[in-house]
Amino acid sequence: MSQNPYWRRKLLSCSADDIFSINREHIEGLSAQTVNAVRKYQLDYQVRLAKFNEAPTWMFEGETIVFYFDAREFPSVFLQSANNRSVIGSVQSRW
């Protein structure tokens, strides 16, 4: 998702307090394959900017911003994704 232009723009422009849902009601900007999985398995995730203490410090180096994805009912199931703010244009041009 961090390479998906819709989500990349949304996450790079959000505030530290914004939390976005990914579930049956909130599937905008997702690929058909992801939408099918969300619906079939009734997945419920949330995504937001990671706080500094939620990811290894190396992920925050340079122009990096870290996205934090977790399963709403199982917060121990999570993924962190380090992203370089300056490459948003090149990622968008590939989609």
- Determine the average pLDDT of the residues in 12-26: 93
pLDDT score recorded for residue 87: 67
Are residues 85 and 64 in contact, defined by beta-carbon separation less than 8 angstroms? yes
| pLDDT at position 21 over 70 | yes
- Which helix H or strand E contains 5, and what residues bound it? helix 5-12
Q: What is the pLDDT of residues 58-95, one digit of tens each?
A: 999 888 889 999 999 998 999 999 888 776 554 443 33
Are residues 53 and 68 in contact, defined by beta-carbon separation less than 8 angstroms? no
Hey, what are 49's tokens? Answer: 């900017």
pLDDT score recorded for residue 69: 94
Q: What percent of the chain has pLDDT over 70?
A: 87
What is the DSSP secondary-structure string of 22-59? EBTTB-TT--HHHHHHHHHHT--EEEEEPPGGGS-GGG
* Domain locations in the chain as residue ranges: 5-94
Q: What is the pTM of this model?
A: 0.78
User: What average pLDDT does the chain have?
Assistant: 86
